[in-house]
Structure 1
Amino acid sequence: MVNVSDVEIIAPNFKKRLSGVTSTIIQLIPVQRALGEKIAALGPGLPASLPHIRFRDLPKLWRTPRGLPFRIWHARRNIEMLPAIVMRDVLRMPLKIVFTSASQRRHTGWTKWLISKMDAVIATSGKTADYLEVPNTVVVHGIDTARFSPADDKAIAKQMLGLNATMKIAGCFGRVRHQKGTDLFVDSMIRLLPARPDWIAIIAGRATAQHVEYEKELKARVAAASLIDRILFVGEHTNINDWYRTLDLFIAPQRWEGFGLTPLEAMASAVPVVATDVGAFPELLVTGDKETGAIVPRDDLDAMVQSCGLFMDDESRRQLASVRARTHVMNAFTIEGEARKLSAVYRSV
């Protein structure tokens, strides 16, 4: 808990269930505070260790923070924009509202109206910016490059998780569901692995209740292909960074994605990536002469099989891409870089 009078920026989180937005807030606030921002969260579903204010503290927002004429309310959802507009325009609280949009679709009239009332708008990618009809600043997400970092010894990293140190590993991490393209990864591996006895595949992630049958069907496909011991469903893990360190190739087969951090997490771990052309993926990877990975059309199994196969069969290409991947993320996608760019937006307001 922090004193409201010491808070200059409020990051509301009005959704109990863990989501990408919630995860962003949890990861960003400690970094922002380390950079000197007087920021606190508001809302449920956040760890108690995170600096936060309470809903009953909201009347105190009529008083300005020390040394400033207003506070910044940084919303990331419609439900967080609306109360801020009421507080600023109806209750006349000294607030400026910043909104971050990750949407890659045409906004409803209601959302457009809300966005039109913002003091500043941030887009998480160039593709997202294309759907906005107001001036905006692109600030891409960053990741913790200390947490997501290469293994000192990949063989040892594999052994520590009970994996065969002599096998190369292709991975697909995230929720197990149709939208995430888990079936495309499984079907790709079913076609690729029989001719590549030195490779195995790992699916790390949870299938929520409505997607359990989908996961069961995928496991049945693996069993029918006699690949139970080579396509492994390892479930959800809090130490997912350790699993990234075991990989030799990462595949992001999503059919739709708002932004998508998994390719950045893989590249930060010095793992080349094959990703579909959704979300911000084409803006995250480098293709061509200085590649960190490859982009394939969404929902195109043949293209995924071909691209993955080329990487799997060319160790020197993987090694070059892995080195470039880590450097690329360190140069362009650190969470500290994201926090600094957000600070610049706050200052502009």
Structure 2
Amino acid sequence: MEDISDVEIIAPNFKRRLSGVTSTIIQLVPVQRALGQKVATLGPGLPEALPHIGYGALLKLWARPRGRRLRVWHARRNVEMLPAVFLRDVLRMRLKIVFTSASQRKHSGWTKFLVRRMDAVIATSNRTAAYLDVPSTTIMHGIDTQRFFPATDKAAAKTVLGLPADRKIAGCFGRVRHQKGTDLFVDSMISLLPQRPDWIAIIAGRATPAHVAFENDLKDKVKRAGLADRILFVGEHTNIPEWYRALDLFIAPQRWEGFGLTPLEAMATQVPVVATDVGAFSELLSTGKDETGILIPANELAAMTDAAALLMDDPQRARLAGERGLARAIESFSIRGEASSIGAVYERLLSGA
């Protein structure tokens, strides 16, 4: 438990179940601390290793932290903005509030009400910023290249996971559900694999109880196509970077996404990408002369199938796209760069600028 006197930034997480926001906090806070940002988390659902304060520490927010006039509260959900507004405006505690928005849809009246009361707003992409009615700073999510990096031996990377070393592998990672487009990936592989005996496909991710029937329908469809030994549902894994390193092609088939880190994780492991034009994918991928992958319209199975075929059937194009993706991830999307940019927002507020 951290001494609240030494905490300048509070990062609340008021949702127990693992989500993209929770994952962001887990990955970002250690990097922020390494950069000298005095951040501590608050709330459930986070690893014990993260610096943490208890709810009782909130009673001490009237007092200044050491060497500063105030603290920053960094909210990422409505449920985290609301208590901060109460602490600052009703209880008159020494707080400034930052909100990070990843949403790419029109905000509700309640969300707009809360956002207008923020001292600073961060958008995770330019597309997200366009949905905000207040000034914002665009800071895109970064990738931890200490965790996500290319395989030095692709065959060995496959073998260690029990996958065939002599096959090429197309992958789709994330929650198994309609919104994530898992069915589009499965349908595209059912179409492509019979003509490509050297390829298999894997789906890594969990179906929550509400989506188990959806997953079972997909498994039944794969069995009926006679491809149960080539389209594999491998479940959820904590060692997901190792699964990326086994891939030869990554497909992000989402129908909707707030930001979406999976294409970036694939790029950092030197894997070419096919991604739908949702979330921040169009800002992550390069599709011109420095191609890192192919961007396709959302919810269009034929486009996904054609794009995957192009990279499956052209090893040179796939290799170059993977190499460029790695370079782009390192140069433009490091998690250290994200943490530094967020730190600059904090500093403006902490210094009263």
Category of TM-score, reference length = shorter chain: over 0.9
**Cα deviation code 1:57-113 (max 9, x no counterpart):** 101011010111100000011111111111111111010000000111111111111
Give the match for residue 132 of structure 1: 132
Number of equivalences:
349
**Cα deviation code 1:27-55 (max 9, x no counterpart):** 11110000001110001111111101000
1:18 is displaced (CA, Å) by 1.0
**1:94 and 1:185 mapped to 2: Cα distance?**
50
Q: Does residue 328 of structure 1 match 2:296?
A: no
**1:211 and 1:90 mapped to 2: Cα distance?**
42
Give the TM-score of the pair, scaled to structure 1. Answer: 0.99
**2:45 and 2:162 mapped to 1: Cα distance?**
33
Structure 1 letter corresponding to 2:113: W
Give the match for residue 299 of structure 1: 299
Give the match for residue 189 of structure 1: 189
Give the match for residue 109 of structure 1: 109
1:143 is displaced (CA, Å) by 1.4
1:162 is displaced (CA, Å) by 1.1
**2:54 and 2:2 mapped to 1: Cα distance?**
9
Structure 2 letter corresponding to 1:67: G
1:164 is displaced (CA, Å) by 1.1
**1:67 and 1:159 mapped to 2: Cα distance?**
53
1:7 is displaced (CA, Å) by 0.2
**Cα deviation code 1:316-335 (max 9, x no counterpart):** 00110111010000011111
Give the match for residue 12 of structure 1: 12
Counterparts of 1:93-104 in structure 2, within 5 Å, are: 93-104=93-104
Q: Larger deviation: 43-52 or 309-318? A: 43-52
Counterparts of 1:11-30 in structure 2, within 5 Å, are: 11-30=11-30
1:262 is displaced (CA, Å) by 0.5
1:56 is displaced (CA, Å) by 0.9
Give the match for residue 166 of structure 2: 166
Give the match for residue 341 of structure 2: 341
**2:75 and 2:167 mapped to 1: Cα distance?**
45
Give the match for residue 212 of structure 2: 212
Counterparts of 1:1-349 in structure 2, within 5 Å, are: 1-349=1-349
Q: Which runs of 5+ in 1 are unaligned?
A: none
1:348 is displaced (CA, Å) by 2.1
Runs of 4+ in structure 1 deviating by more than 6 angstroms, as ranges, are: none
**1:114 and 1:154 mapped to 2: Cα distance?**
48
**2:87 and 2:162 mapped to 1: Cα distance?**
54
Q: Secondary structure at the match of 1:271?
A: coil
Q: Secondary structure at the match of 1:24?
A: helix
Q: C-alpha root-mean-square deviation of aligned residues, in Å?
A: 0.6
Give the TM-score of the pair, scaled to structure 2. Answer: 0.98
